[in-house]
Amino acid sequence: MDKVTYLVLGVCWQLARLSATQNISLKDCHELYRLANVDEELSELAKKKPEDLLVRWINFHLKAAGQDFTINNLGKDLVDCKAMYYLAQQLTGGKSTMTEMENEDTTARAAEMIKNFSNMGVPELMDTEDWLKANGKVNSVYVAEIFNTKHGLEELKEEEV
């Protein structure tokens, strides 16, 4: 790579992405079946990129939490932390804190959100400054770690397999 910094960083990014998302597939996590749209073939779902599955996964939990908004990406749509607070609530059975969710101080809001996931055992791969940059690539690795720690999807019953 002739010591070209952006090429080295690109390779590092791909390795981090691969490591975080390697098990986010229908083949490795059968419970992802729950994310299929009513008229969608499982073969279509199986072709989705891990990032697309993570967006669906968050939206699945938002719907389960009774929220009427959805996200379309893992960057700017998550920067306000609201979707992530509801995700944490769903994954912890309502035991995560939401005291900072309405705080105008986005740093305090993001810090509590990260702490909620840390309390679940999610590695602290980023800090509030990283989160507030709304970088979809960086966020996708963090969201993948949340998924890998606890996806919160109901196990399939024998008749569903």
User: Does the structure show a pLDDT above 80 at 129?
Assistant: yes
- The set of residues, in sequence order, having a beta carbon less than 8 Å from that of 142 and lying 6+ positions away, is 122, 125, 126, 131
Distance CA 113, CA 37 (A): 29
The pTM for the full model equals: 0.89
- pLDDT for 1 equals 55
> In terms of residue numbers, what domain contains 121?
5-160
Total domains in the chain come to: 1
Q: What is the CATH number of the domain that holds 52?
A: 1.10.418.10
- The whole-chain average pLDDT of the chain stands at 91
- pLDDT for 19 equals 73
User: Does the structure show a pLDDT above 90 at 139?
Assistant: yes
- Which ranges constitute the DSSP H helices of the chain? 5-21, 42-46, 50-64, 82-91, 106-119, 128-132, 136-149
Could you read off the pLDDT of 49-81 as tens digits, one per residue?
Answer: 999 999 999 999 999 999 999 999 999 999 999
